[in-house]
Chain A
Amino acid sequence: MSTHIVQPRVYVTIFLALMLGTSLTVIAAFHDFPGPLNVVVALTIAVVKATLVVLFFMHVRYSGRLIWLVIFSALFWLGIMFALTISDYWTRTWLMPLGS
Chain B
Amino acid sequence: MPEGLATAHEHSAHHAALQHHFENMEQQREAGTLGMWVFLVTEIMFFGGMFLAYTLYRYQYPVAFATASNHLDIRLGAINTGVLIVSSFTMAMAVYTTQIGKRKGAILCLILTMILGATFLGIKAVEYHDKYRDHLIPGQLIPGHPFSPETAKPGDTDPHKLHLPVGVPLGNVELFYWIYFAMTGMHALHMIIGLGLMTWLTIKTWRGRFGPEYYAPVEVSGLYWHFVDIIWIFLFPLLYLLGRHLEGHIG
A63 to B, closest residue via Cβ: B33
Total interface residues on A, using CB and 8 Å?
Answer: 50
CB distance from B31 to the nearest CB of A (A): 10
Assembled-state Cα–Cα distance A58/B91 (Å):
10
Total interface residues on B, using CB and 8 Å?
Answer: 49
- Number of residue pairs spanning A and B whose beta carbons lie under 8 angstroms apart: 120
Assembled-state Cα–Cα distance A82/B59 (Å):
13
Q: Is B205 an interface residue (CB 8 A)?
A: no
Give chain A residues whose Cβ lies under 8 Å from the Cβ of B242. Answer: 38-39, 42
Q: Is B49 an interface residue (CB 8 A)?
A: yes
Q: Is B74 an interface residue (CB 8 A)?
A: yes
Q: Is B152 an interface residue (CB 8 A)?
A: no
Q: Are A42 and B222 in contact (CB under 8 A)?
A: no
Q: Are A53 and B100 in contact (CB under 8 A)?
A: no
Chain B interface SS verdict (over half): helix
For chain B, residues 212 to 239, give those with C-beta under 8 angstroms from any C-beta of chain A. Answer: 219, 222-223, 226-227, 229-230, 233-234, 236-238
For chain B, residues 59 to 103, give those with C-beta under 8 angstroms from any C-beta of chain A. Answer: 59-60, 74, 78, 81-82, 85-86, 88-89, 91-93, 96, 99-100
Q: Are A5 and B100 in contact (CB under 8 A)?
A: yes
CB distance from A53 to the nearest CB of B (A): 5
* With A22-B82, A57-B88 as contacts: A73 and B223 at CB distance below 8 Å: no
CB distance from B89 to the nearest CB of A (A): 4
Q: Is B45 an interface residue (CB 8 A)?
A: yes
- Residue-by-residue, is A40-72 near B (CB-CB < 8 Å gives 1, otherwise 0)? 001101100110011011110001101100110
Q: Which residues of A contact B (CB under 8 A)?
A: 1, 3, 5-8, 11-12, 14-15, 18-19, 22, 25-26, 29-33, 38-39, 42-43, 45-46, 49-50, 53-54, 56-59, 63-64, 66-67, 70-71, 73-75, 77-78, 81-82, 85-86, 89
- Extra 13 A-B pairs, beta carbons < 8 Å, given A42-B242, A81-B49: A5-B99, A26-B74, A32-B245, A38-B242, A42-B241, A46-B234, A46-B237, A50-B230, A54-B230, A57-B89, A67-B34, A71-B37, A82-B48
